[in-house]
Structure 1
Amino acid sequence: MADIKHHTVRTNGIHLHVAEAGQGPLVLLLHGWPESWYSWRHQLHALAEAGYRAVAPDIRGYGRSDKPEPVEAYSMKHLMGDAVGLLDALGEQTAVVVGHDWGSAMAWNCAALHPDRFRAVVGMSVPHLGRAPMPPTQLFERMFGEKWFYILYFQTPGVAEAEFEADVPKTVRTIFAGTPGFDVTASAVQAKKKGDRFLTGLDTPATLPDWLTEEDLAYFASEFSRSGFRGSLNRYRNMDRDWQELPELATATIKQPALFIIGEKDPVRAFSPVDAMKALVPNLEDILVVPGAGHWIQQERASEVNAALLAFLKKLPA
């Protein structure tokens, strides 16, 4: 099994912790919320053994990467700048960018707005949605009305941080192994009312799914116990700022080869339509729906995701 090496890279004015394995064409792996480079542990090994240079940073605000204080430091412009700067720091002109959850949004936007640096793109769980017709928080308020919705709950600094940091092991166990608070189809989430917290009414399971070990959860918990949740939550607090700062996403198309992977039971499907991205990504090779899988797709179904990812990569021009 290929060794994973850890080092720190300076990019875009900050320091990012990076996990890296293998040599060859660069594949950049961008994680989502509330995760870590560790979410790509299975892909790092598989890509390295297949002849690729696989690099998975802790996104700014997470793990051992820098955590700037201002909320606006977590805008999509800054995150894309981190990704482009990471290529520069690694001495690479281009990369295939792969993302999951918020990392997927980053990957799509990097491909759309920096096509000279990202030669292909793979998104997981979150489709490419372009630019909303109005600021996202306004859109969510229209969509959900008086219903509780996690992204709106996250908007006030300090509130979700206090909830999650009160018992970090319980928080990560509930989110990864239980009913996640972003599952708007779950009865426990539908029963929430404004003023409730993210974890209100959610069970914390004693038994873990077969794809997740106690050691895995302990790693995530240790990372968030050290870093806190503020940086990761600030990503959600920039959605309206992104809408204002990136109007070009309204007309940008992604012309690079692309692949989208999502779990059949991923709750994101309930509020992020997949078919709409076909017009925005004309060279979308496939929308791969993995039967029975949920949101944490690259961890839940590592072998299937790795097979699809490697098959896609092998078709790309050298």
Structure 2
Amino acid sequence: MYPELKHDIVQTNGISLHVVKAGPNNGPVVILLHGFPEFWYGWRYQIPYLALAGYQVWVPDQRGYNLSDKPVGVNAYNLDELAADVLGLIEASGRDKVSLVGHDWGAAVAWWVVNKYPHRFEHLVILNVPHHVVMHRHMRRSFSQMLRSWYIFFFQVPHLPETAVRLAQWFLLERVLRRSSRKGTFTTADLELYRQAWSQPGAITAMISWYRALFQSAVQRPESFRITVPTLLIWGGLDKFLGREMAGPSIDLCDDGHLVLLPEASHWVQHEENERVNKLIDDFMRYNP
């Protein structure tokens, strides 16, 4: 049995986001935030499981991606703007609080918005991304992490990254997904859907602008970097982009933090270990009031 997927357009923070919804209208709301270079489809294994478990699931294409608006300019993609998008989704849901799940860039947004606005969240679930303080520290002090993150620096070059992606006809992005994941994780049919999302007008520049905003756009620091919302951090041990040594220090910044390491999974943990990840998310939100 597969629940009905409703495709909706939600107004938030001055833009329109394409949001896929599933599950009962009276269920607790959980928002799933994808990362680079995915779109809502990156949660295809989690949406039906959580919807059938009784949650009302909201899965946006984040700004700049797929069918959502793609505002022009690097400043439109800083963490404060991305966090404001999430707050607008919560308002649109009609709930005072929701649970939030994020992977990759979606996890970075999730850490940030929960850090700054904890009163709007019941639970936080993070997949394979460290707390922003830990990431900043390792990017400055760890040579191995700097090497892993070489693409972040490449994306700072104006125009060149998106030109390279277009000239290669999406081969570069496909290769990144396939070479950094377990064999068979991304099928030919999956990648065709990804290509359609990447081909949306303005999408590639907008997606890369998230990285450019890290260095080029200022944000307002939170009063404290402690995470007070109950937090589950799931980490695939074979992540080629982010070292597992950042997981423990991230949990240390959480008042109620739980770490689960899946040693045989890659960065794409919710794809490769979807059954385990689904149960971990459901159990955590169900039994941590």
One fold, TM greater than 0.5? yes
Matches within 5 A, 1:68-217: 68-130=71-133, 139=140, 149-179=150-180, 209-217=183-191
Partner-residue secondary structure (3-state), 1:99: strand
1:237 aligned residue: 212
Pair 1:222-2:196 in alignment: yes
Q: Given the superposition, is the C-alpha separation of residues 121 and 179 from structure 1 closer, same or farther in structure 2, using an over 3 Å criterion?
A: closer
Paired AA for residue 261 in structure 1 = I
2:287 corresponds to: 315
Contact 1:127/1:272, CA 8 A, preserved across alignment: no
Instruction: Please report how far the alpha carbon of residue 149 of structure 1 lies from its aligned counterpart in structure 2 after TM superposition.
Output: 1.4
Aligned equivalents of 1:45, 1:289: Cα separation in 2: 24
* Shift of residue 171, structure 1, vs aligned partner: 2.5
The answer as to whether partners of 1:126 and 1:272 remain within 8 angstroms in 2 is: no
Partner of 1:11: 12
Identity rate, percent: 33
Structure 2 CA distance for partners of 1:114 and 1:169, relative to 1, 3 Å: same
The number of residues matched between the two structures is: 285
Match among 225, 230, 246 for residue 257 of structure 1: 230
Give, in whole Å, the separation in 2 of the partners of 1:314 and 1:148: 35
Matching residue of 2:240: 267
Structure 1 CA distance, aligned partners of 2:156 and 2:53?
Answer: 41
Instruction: In structure 2, give the amino acid aligned to 1:171.
Output: L
For structure 2, the residue ranges without an aligned partner over 5 or more in a row are: none
Q: Tell me: CA distance 1:209–1:145, structure 2 relative to 1, closer, same or farther (3 Å).
A: closer
With over 3 angstroms needed to count, the CA separation of the structure-2 counterparts of 1:15 and 1:150, relative to structure 1, is same
* C-alpha distance in structure 2 between counterparts of 1:216 and 1:234, whole Å: 24
Q: Which letter does structure 2 place at the counterpart of 1:265? A: L
Cα 1:241/1:316, change in 2 over 3 Å: farther
After the TM superposition, which of the residue ranges 99-108 and 275-284 deviates more from structure 2? 275-284
Shift in CA distance, 121/241, structure 1 to aligned 2, threshold 3 Å: farther
The alignment status of 1:65 with 2:40, answered yes or no, reads no
The aligned counterpart of 1:282 is 255
CA contact (8 A) 2:63 2:70 kept: yes
CA deviation digits over 1:140-199, x for unaligned, max 9? Answer: 89778899811111112211111112234423320111248xxxxxxxxxxxxxxxxxxx
Q: CA RMSD in A?
A: 2.5
Correspondence for 1:189: none
Which secondary structure state, in structure 1, belongs to the residue aligned with residue 259 of structure 2? strand
* CA displacement, residues 89-125 of structure 1 (integer Å, 9 cap, x when unaligned): 2222211010001111111111111111112100001
Query: 1:135, 1:240 within 8 Å by CA — same for their partners in 2?
Result: no
Check if 1:41 corresponds to 2:56: no
In the alignment, the residues of structure 1 paired with residue 220 and residue 144 of structure 2 have an alpha-carbon distance, to the nearest angstrom, of 23
**5+ residue gaps in structure 1?**
181-207
Question: Equivalent residue of 1:62, what SS?
Answer: coil
Cα displacement (A) at 1:134: 7.8
| Comparing 149-158 and 163-172, the one that deviates more | 163-172
Which letter maps to 1:287? L
Question: Please, what TM-score do these two structures have when normalized by structure 2?
Answer: 0.91
Shift in CA distance, 166/271, structure 1 to aligned 2, threshold 3 Å: farther
Shift of 1:135: 12
Alpha carbons of 1:117 and 1:273: their partners in 2 closer, same or farther (altered >3 Å)?
Answer: same
1:292 is aligned to 2:267: no
Structure 2 CA distance for aligned equivalents of residues 282 and 235 of structure 1: 29
